[in-house]
Amino acid sequence: MKWISSEEGHRVLTIFGLKIRVSKLWRYVDTVLARRRQTRAWKESVHLQNSDTLVVFIVPGYALISAGVMSIYSLCRTTRTLLPTATCLLVTEPGALSHAHNDLFRNEEHVFLWGQLMSLLRTWQGKVILHIPEYLAGRFVSCLSGVHRRLLHSLQHLHLNILNQNMQLMPPPEAVRPLSSLSPRVTQTLAFRRNLTQDLADTYGMPVHLFSVRIDISAYPSVPFERKEKIIAYSPDVCPEKEQVLEHLCRALPDYELHLIKGITFNEYMELIARSSFVLTFGEGFDSYFIQPLAVGSVGLAVYNDTFFPSSAWKEFPQVFASWDAFVEQAPSFIRSLAADPPAYYALITRTNAHLAQVYPKDEYMENLRSFYAGRYHLLPGQPNTLSAA
């Protein structure tokens, strides 16, 4: 077995045979190069003139690939479908960095400057819905210039929504209170049903609504079983048991290659997991490294935990292990057995996909977004088990 680690960083200059990483510098270069593309794309957005609602999704200043970023892109695309008369835009957060397009995964979205949005809002008379990712929510107001703060405050129909996609990144209630200085209408939307609690609505003093998660990766082709390689791709997450687990797999499965997923684009990542027989996550367990392989005909491996798996029903799946000790003991024989039985391999993928569709039904995702934009929220502070009407 070989351990392979892809070179970290996406921007590498080779000068006289020397490789120089310039990932941080490139963010600023990318910002400069993006300005012309953003200006041209903005001018071509003539549909702005005919809209009465502006829906804005804020993304990080530099292009990056994560489940959170990809879900924001999906939310923007779905919102555009649900609100055909509205204008839906992706805008980089206030600051020095920006990019015109995220080239790290397949999408057709333009990304605009924060300053371009502010210029538009100076004369905007319609409704504005500003989706702020949770990592930015606690410092959003302090990131604004005085002019931009007063401009947002002056809007008559401004709705601020916190995209709470990761509770570990969500700031405490006192940190997000300054948002109410910009608008009295502040809400919070969630990616996972397990976080939809009355206590959350009461603690933050704002309506809470479930969006759920939808990341469209249907454009990426799968690789049939007979063309799979003896590769176990594994996530870059930090885990105390990681070294021990990898060493055990090396000894128990010497004919397999362990491949660290790191320093590659999303397109390269999808190609890697498609040709890999198995993908192992050392992270949350019920995460992209466990779920996304299913879309390209591969099997994800994980250790169960109550925090991130939606229900204990996932314990019944053989690729979900009770603990890392159980994984070390059972995984090698499970991998051998499944790799020798193509019908069982396909059957497991089919069964897992069917259960996953129950967790994240597409119809529910669409209906949740439709309810949100109609002002009907799952939970209101101080009013348990309500679906409010605006």
- For the chain, give every domain's residue range: 35-210, 225-359
Beta strands (DSSP E) in 191-323 are 208-210, 229-234, 257-260, 276-280, 299-303, 320-321
CB neighbour list of residue 122: distance below 8 Å, 6 or more residues apart:
151
For residue 331, give the H/E element and its range. Answer: helix 324-339
Q: Which of 325-348 are b and which e, b meaning 16 or more Cβ less than 10 Å from the residue's Cβ?
A: eebbeebbebbeebbeeeeebeeb
Helix 342-359 and helix 324-339, axial crossing angle in degrees, nearest 10: 130
* β-strands 208-210, 229-234 pairing: unpaired
Q: Output the pLDDT for position 218.
A: 80
Q: Output the pLDDT for position 253.
A: 98
Q: Which CATH number is correct for 35-210, 3.40.50, 2.60.40, 1.20.140, 3.30.70?
A: 3.40.50
Q: Do domains 35-210 and 225-359 have the same CATH topology?
A: yes
Q: Output the pLDDT for position 371.
A: 97
**Rounded CA separation 371/35 (Å):** 36
Closest CA to 212 of 363, 386, 56: 363
Cβ atoms within 10 Å of 214's Cβ, excluding its own: 20
Taking all residues of the chain, what is their mean pLDDT, rounded to a whole number? Answer: 88
Q: Output the pLDDT for position 173.
A: 98
Cβ atoms within 10 Å of 55's Cβ, excluding its own: 23
What 3-state DSSP class applies to 62? coil
**DSSP letter assigned to residue 63:** -
Confidence of residue 29 (pLDDT cuts 50, 70, 90): low
**Rounded CA separation 208/60 (Å):** 23
Backbone angles phi, psi at 189, to 5 degrees: -115, 150
CATH architecture of the domain covering 225-359: 3-Layer(aba) Sandwich (3.40)
pTM: 0.75
53-77 per-position pLDDT tens digit:
999 999 999 888 787 898 999 999 9
Confidence of residue 264 (pLDDT cuts 50, 70, 90): confident
As a whole number of Å, the end-to-end CA separation of the chain is: 60
Please check whether residue 387 is in contact with residue 376, taking contact to mean a CB–CB distance below 8 angstroms.
yes
Number of H helices, E strands in the chain: 14, 15
Confidence of residue 28 (pLDDT cuts 50, 70, 90): low
* β-strands 208-210, 186-190 pairing: parallel
Confidence of residue 7 (pLDDT cuts 50, 70, 90): very low
Backbone angles phi, psi at 228, to 5 degrees: -65, 150
Q: Output the pLDDT for position 1.
A: 43
